[in-house]
Amino acid sequence: MTDSTIMAILIDKRTDAAPKVQKILTEHGCIIKTRLGMHESANCADQGMIILDLTANNSEVEALKAELSSLAGVKVKSMLLDFE
């Protein structure tokens, strides 16, 4: 059984980083169970957050985290959910 991980991605310059983030997420799409994107739409804020529910082993999660973290203005945190 694969682990379930919640990953939060904070993007400081949403308009600049979004295409690169999208490319990475597409490449890792098979491990993304749920994706939720948020930004302040009232003033079209340049900062955004993406929450992912991942079904993957630790090495797959770490690979995704490393790729995203390598982008300027992108911060990533993750949390493993263990219900045993």
| Mean of pLDDT values over 3-27 | 90
Range of the domain at 18: 3-81
- Give the per-residue pLDDT at 82: 80
Closest by alpha carbon to 71, among 6, 16, 7, 26? 16
**Total domain count, the chain:** 1
Instruction: Evaluate if residue 34 carries a pLDDT over 80.
Output: yes
Question: What CATH code is carried by the domain that includes residue 30?
Answer: 3.30.70.1150
Lowest mean pLDDT among 18-22, 41-45, 65-69, 78-82: 41-45
C-alpha angle with apex 67: 33 to 23, nearest 5 degrees? 65
- Full-model pTM: 0.87
